[in-house]
Structure 1
Amino acid sequence: MTNDDEPSTLARRQLGRFLRDARETCALSLDRAANLAELSKTALQRIETGGVKKLRIRDVQALCEIYEVASEDANRAVELAKQSQVASWYTAFGGLYSDATFNMYVGLAASARRLTAYHEIVLGLVQTADYARALIGAFYRNSSPAEIDQRVELRLKRQTIITRRADPVKLDLLLHESALHRMVGGPKVMAAQLRQLAEVSKLPNVSIRIQPFAAGCAWGIPHGPFVILDFGADAKGQPIEPPLVYFEGNGKADLYLEKEEDVQRYHELASAVRRSALDETRTRDLLRTVSRSYTA
């Protein structure tokens, strides 16, 4: 197997986070859990940090049993262990990993230090409750109002990663102007959403810039939404985790690019969009102007 064909570290890291959280929920120390699973402390620590290239299914099953993980979640953990052995130029997760426990993107975004996003609707991390409810309700058409409300509540809780006082995630949001005019939930919902965007953009860790229609296509061709996740560096300047590019599957499998050249290409695309976007002050002015047009 060549370096280019090595299995993704993404599934290993997600599994490690899940097992660490399960252990901490049981109030077990690393030493005690390792002893119960007949592993060394170092081996368990490497599993939790995604550092084990060849995960043994029996170790994952034993840890899930020790932590009293529900059978459904234990099965998902085993599937993650299997996925971690698959070599591919991209990683796809969907269906199995789309619930609250195994939602890959939610966990990754919470661990990131910086998110660089290009979107053509308002990003979930800065949506109002009513805007989120309109989108979620349209997608989950057969869900009950209570289920919709629960999904909205979960989405709003995720927003604390950019609003918390301690070490908030840095958000660099490049929003296409079409998001300001694509009706979601009605005029009142849109007006409130755009006002909130203008306010959120004042946070020191948040940058929101609009790419206007007049800018055309940054690289001469249309491109869809994407999010670049950067996880920062340690004291030695080494990346804590490799950066990723995320593409939402919209009901299908979500996709992640991990190769360095792929991530660099999307950083370059984000830079091109940024060069054609309004600055932050003009962006706020446009958000407020369009917001008023919805209530005129």
Structure 2
Amino acid sequence: MRLVLREAREAAGYTQLDVAEQMEWSLSKVIRIENGDVTIAPNDLRPLLNYLNVKDRAQVADLLATAKIARTRQRQAWYQKPEFREHLTDGLRRLIEYETEATSVYTYSVFHIPALLQIPSYSSALIQMWRDDLTDTQRHYRLEARRLRREAVLERSHPLRMTVVLDESVFWRAVGGPQVFADQLEEVLRLEEQQSVAIRMFPFTADTGLSYDAGFDILFLGDEDEATETGDKINAVMYRETGASDEVIEDKALATRHFARYRKLWEAATNEEETVDFIRKRVRELR
């Protein structure tokens, strides 16, 4: 929703201040709507779409229906409760919202197993590494958020398709100790067997360069439009996390470039069957 509104505003040549003055809203309200910090009421959405020259009846009807659902969902969403709003970053809360809408996610990581695949003991050991940067309360709510995110994704009626490339170093870095890490790898195998995730390992011997980003997620919204050589932009957003800080990037051109890089990493990586065999071997060694 927020991407559609922002793109319509930019296509019409209006600034956020133009919208605020026309709609008789505060500038902060416009900014918060476009940032996804608040939802927009259908009664506010109708005149806004008219002002932005969004006239297609099917699109307007779809946006109004989406706005109604979003308002209901936001009132009920666990991550909008005061305790979570206080201790989660804006980027993380926006990521959680996108995860409820995304059809697929492509994840690349150099350092650790991705959050949506983590078991609690692994998550706890991992977040302890940031004990100098996060308070006990922050760590508690971020761990709880990670657990609830994972449950929400795995229990969706239309499962989120997860595709993951992990650097080989991830499989050698026994976060939490041998037993915890063995349990974590067995969970990855379980999810792979259930076809909840497709996973490949980027080996030390690969002749393709690593990404400059240590890790990122690309979430597709709706149908997956292929990024092409003509410069078409994919309908996706990007999430990037660095230690205790993070951000959601809604620039489609940047997401397109990272997805093109992701595909090169995927093609250079060990295939799924060989990756699974490697993980099983690591579990035996750890046990």
TM-score range, shorter chain: 0.5 to 0.7
Cα deviation, 1:130-156, whole Å, max 9, x if unaligned, reads: 000011222135644x76454323211
Question: Which residue, out of 131, 134, 137, partners 1:140?
Answer: 131
Give the paired residue count: 230
Displacement after TM superposition at 1:210 (Å): 1.1
- Using structure 1 for the length normalisation, give the TM-score: 0.63
Cα shift at 1:254: 1.8
- Cα distance in 1 for residues equivalent to 2:235 and 2:106: 15
Q: Is 1:189 aligned to 2:210, yes or no?
A: no
User: Compared with structure 1, are the counterparts of its residues 169 and 129 closer, same or farther at alpha carbon in structure 2 (3 Å cutoff)?
Assistant: same
Kindly state the Cα deviation for residue 203 of structure 1 after the two structures are TM-superposed: 2.6
Question: What's the RMSD between the two structures over aligned residues?
Answer: 4.0
2:36 corresponding residue in structure 1 = 15
1:27-85 Cα distance to aligned partner (Å, 9 max, x none): xxx5xxx4xxxx575549979969xxxxxxxxxxxx9xxx9xxxx999xx9xxxxxxxx
2:172 & 2:210 partners in 1: Cα distance?
23
Distance 1:287 1:255 in 2: 31
The equivalent of 2:259 in structure 1 is 267
Structure 1 counterpart SS, 2:264:
helix
Shift of 1:163: 1.8
CA distance in 2, matches of 1:212, 1:252: 27
Change in 2 beyond 3 A, CA 1:97/1:127: closer
**Contact 1:219–1:269 under 8 Å retained in 2:** no
Counterpart residue number, 1:244: 237
- Whether the aligned pair in 1 keeps the contact of 2:94 and 2:248 (CA below 8 Å) is no
Amino acid at match of 1:126: L
Q: What is the CA–CA distance in structure 2 between the aligned matches of 1:10 and 1:227, rounded to whole Å?
A: 24
What is the rounded CA distance, in whole Å, between the counterparts of 2:275 and 2:266 in structure 1? 12
**Any unmatched runs of 5+ in structure 1?**
24-29, 51-62, 78-94, 235-240
1:201 matched residue in structure 2 = 192
SS in 2 for 1:248: strand
Change (3 A) 1:105 1:140: farther
Aligned to 1:154: 145
The 1:124–1:197 alpha-carbon spacing in structure 2 relative to 1, beyond 3 Å, is: same
Structure 1 SS opposite 2:142: helix
Q: What TM-score do the two structures reach when normalised by structure 2?
A: 0.65
How far apart are residue 194 of structure 1 and its match? 0.9
Secondary structure of the equivalent of 2:146? helix
**Equivalences for residues 206-217 of structure 1 within 5 A:** 206-216=197-207
Secondary structure of 2:99 counterpart: helix
In structure 2, the CA distance between the partners of 1:96 and 1:159, relative to structure 1 (3 Å rule), is: closer
Alignment partner for residue 101 of structure 2, among 111, 114, 117?
Answer: 111
Would the aligned equivalents of 2:36 and 2:94 in 1 still touch at CA under 8 Å? Answer: no
Query: Cα 1:73–1:282, aligned 2, differ >3 Å: closer, same or farther?
Result: closer
Give the match for residue 125 of structure 1: 116
More off after superposition, 161-170 vs 181-190: 161-170
Q: 1:219: Cα distance to partner?
A: 3.8
Structure whose residues are more often helix by fraction: 2
Query: Counterpart of 1:83?
Result: none
Deviation, structure 1 residue 220: 6.8
**CA distance in 1: counterparts of 2:266 and 2:45, whole angstroms:** 48
Contact 2:103 2:223 in 1 (8 A): no
The question of 1:173 aligning with 2:173 is answered: no
1:98 aligned partner: 89
Indicate yes or no: 2:248 matched with 1:258: no
**CA deviation string 1:179-221 (max 9, x = no partner):** 01113111111111111111111233421111111114x2477
What residue identity is the alignment partner of 1:15?
G
